[in-house]
Each structure stands twice: as structure tokens, then as C-alpha cells.
Amino acid sequence: MSKTAKTNVILIIATVIVAFFAIFFAIRSDNLLMSKSDKSVVNTPTLFVHGLGGSIKSTDHLATIASRDGGQRSLIIYVDKNGQIQHKGKIKSSARKPIIQVIFQRKFTSVNKQVSWFHEILQILRAQYGFTTYNVVGHSTGAVTALDTAAKYNNDSDMPKLQKFVSIAGPYDGIMKLSNNGVDNYVNSKGQPSVYSEENKWFPSYQTLINDCKNFPKNVSVLNIYGNDNRKNDSDGVVSVASAKSLKYLVAKRVKNYDEIPVTGTNGQHSRLHHNIFVDHIIARFLFDEN
């Protein structure tokens, strides 16, 4: 082989080697950048929590509409009758607004027990997915559970921080059938009820919630939706208007924003509030609008 030919062979080999390493480092660099960009995307999940006696059907409609209005359905988290936590689905790294339904398979469980389970779920989401923030939509007892969990644990280092809280028909001052507070109860301009509910096997007392909410996080936007079906005086048939509106006294002075929206007539009935197209879109706008 001539000297020129040898030189050409060496140049070709060198070019191939250089090209190989150039491609290798380019791919590695792209992967690293992709990894960094995935981590830099702020993925704030929204958790939907049902009330006593509820099931996946209780929040399914809300989750479906939210997924059409900006969210992405991702996980269903089940808490079985023994408190074991399992999940169905997957949160993709590209999902910016994951929707997560929380299902308590023991349908009738005290708020205190649900708080311990919901606290554990949030710790798992922080540990497995790195979520540092979350939103929550709670219906009925689920709203009380979400409120008390944030009040007790939001400042813990292993917890994501609550950003937006939607309460739908939350019985903060008791459910009519389970408390001494009937429809004659009322709230003042600050949201303080005239009669405080007492503790029972399902719910903490209103005074307990007052004490807990002294530590409710401050940088939170709150939307309180309550119903009045106009069939029973000032109630949605299960929760009195006063009980639902008493959320204001618990958190309004602490949080960033607090708004109330009443729903009246047939659509203001307790269970219809989570199957209501008006309510659905109000919630989605509150959760997902960037402005």
C-alpha cells in the first residue's frame, strides 16, 4: 500500500472515531438536558377526594371534565379496608397537570382516619414523583379531610405544599343528621357559626378544626362551593349552608384568596354538586387558568 493510501486510511479511521464520539456525547448531552428539563417542569397534581359513602363514581365526572379543561388523568389511588395504599395508572414525565383520584374503599371512615391515610398518600407522591406542590378538590367529608391534613402536616419537610383548595359541600360545622346543629344555625359576616358542632365518631368538633387551622398554610387559594336545594331551609339536603360557609372563619384570614360560590335549586342538592356542569367548569377554571 502506498504512503498516500495509508494516510487516507488513517484519516478515514480518525474521522469515524471522531464522528462516533461526537454522536455519543451529543446523545448523552441531549439525555442530560431532557432529564433536567423534565425536572424543571412544575408538575402540580390535583387530587380529588370523595365523601362518606362515596366511591370512584363520586369524583369521576369531576375528573373527566377537569381532564378536558386542562388536566391529564393519571392515577387512581385506592386505600383498602386495612389502610393499604395501591394505585392504578401512571404519571408520565411529560404530564404537567396530573389528575389523581383518591378512593377510600372503606366507605364509612372517620375524618381522623382519612387524614392519616391522605397524609401518607401525599408523602408517597412527594417521595416517588418529587411533587413539591399539589391542589385538592374535596367533596363533603373529603373536603374536611383535605383541610385538616393541610392544617396538620403542610409544614412537614416530606410533604408537598398545598396551592389550591376546592371545597364542595364541606360539613365543617357538622352534618345535619349527625350533629346538634340544624338548619337554624347561621354564620356571621366572618363565617363564624352561631353553634359549634361537637365531636362524634365521624367528625372532629368545630373547635378542633379552629385549633388545627391556626397552622393552615397561608399561600393557598380557596374556592368554597356550597348548595341550597330550596327544598329544606338553607341546606343541600345533607349539609346546611351555615356548616359549609363556616370554612371562611377557619381559613379566610390566613389564606391568599378566599371565594364562595352558592349553587341553588335542583343542582344545589348535595350529590348533584359533583355532577354539575356549571360547577365542573368553575373548578377547572380555578385550577388550571394561568392568569
Check which CATH number belongs to the domain holding 53 and give it: 3.40.50.1820
Cβ-proximal residues to 150 (8 Å cutoff; 6+ apart), any chain: 136, 162, 165, 216, 217, 220
* 225, 263 Cβ separation under 8 angstroms: yes
Question: 269 with 233, same domain?
Answer: yes
- The domain total for the chain is 2
Question: 89 with 194, same domain?
Answer: yes
* 216, 251 Cβ separation under 8 angstroms: yes
Question: 119 with 9, same domain?
Answer: no
pLDDT at 150: 98
Statement: residue 133 has pLDDT above 80: yes
pLDDT at 115: 97
Question: 23 with 126, same domain?
Answer: no
Grid coordinates in use for 243?
A: 356548616
Of 171, 186, 99, residue with least CA distance to 141: 171
pLDDT confidence bin for 290, thresholds 50/70/90: low
For residue range 67-87, what is the model confidence (pLDDT) as tens digits? 887 788 889 999 999 999 999
pLDDT at 242: 95
pLDDT at 24: 42
Question: 58 with 190, same domain?
Answer: yes
* 162, 154 Cβ separation under 8 angstroms: yes
Cβ-proximal residues to 92 (8 Å cutoff; 6+ apart), any chain: 72, 74
For residue range 20-68, what is the model confidence (pLDDT) as tens digits? 444 444 434 334 333 333 443 458 999 999 988 878 887 888 888 888 8
- Out of 2-6, 121-125, 155-159, 218-222, pick the least confident: 2-6
Type of residue found at 221: S
Q: What is the dihedral of CA 111, 283, 262, 239, to 10 degrees?
A: -20
Question: 6 with 61, same domain?
Answer: no
Question: 211 with 280, same domain?
Answer: yes
Grid coordinates in use for 182?
A: 340544624
pLDDT > 70: what percent of the chain? 82
Statement: residue 16 has pLDDT above 80: no
Question: 80 with 110, same domain?
Answer: yes
pLDDT at 275: 84
For residue range 164-219, what is the model confidence (pLDDT) as tens digits? 999 999 999 998 876 555 557 899 999 999 999 999 999 999 999 999 999 999 99
Phi, psi (degrees; rounded to nearest 5) at 112: -60, -40
| DSSP letters spanning 236-252 | SSSSBHHHHHTHHHHHT
Alpha-carbon distance 162 to 173, whole Å?
22
Question: 159 with 247, same domain?
Answer: yes
- Out of 53-57, 149-153, 164-168, 246-250, pick the least confident: 53-57
Phi, psi (degrees; rounded to nearest 5) at 133: -135, 165
Report in angstroms the alpha-carbon separations of 127 from 132, 155, 159.
10, 16, 9
Question: Which stretches does DSSP call E strand in the chain?
Answer: 46-49, 72-79, 85-89, 98-104, 133-139, 161-168, 221-228, 257-264
pLDDT confidence bin for 245, thresholds 50/70/90: very high
Grid coordinates in use for 107?
A: 366507605
Report in angstroms the alpha-carbon separations of 246 from 134, 137, 158.
24, 17, 30
Question: 130 with 217, same domain?
Answer: yes
Alpha-carbon distance 233 to 268, whole Å?
12
Statement: residue 253 has pLDDT above 70: yes
Grid coordinates in use for 72?
A: 391529564
pLDDT at 141: 96
Mean per-residue pLDDT, 247-262: 97
CB atoms within 10 A of CB 13: 10
Mean per-residue pLDDT, 13-17: 52
pLDDT at 161: 97
Mean pLDDT over all residues of the chain?
A: 84
- Out of 2-11, 17-26, 189-198, 227-236, pick the least confident: 17-26
Question: 9 with 121, same domain?
Answer: no
pLDDT confidence bin for 3, thresholds 50/70/90: low
3-state SS assignment for residue 25: helix
DSSP label of 161? E
Question: 2 with 68, same domain?
Answer: no
Helix axes 111-129, 141-153, angle to 10 degrees: 60
Q: Which domain holds residue 36?
A: 1-40
**pTM strictly above 0.75:** yes
pLDDT at 95: 78
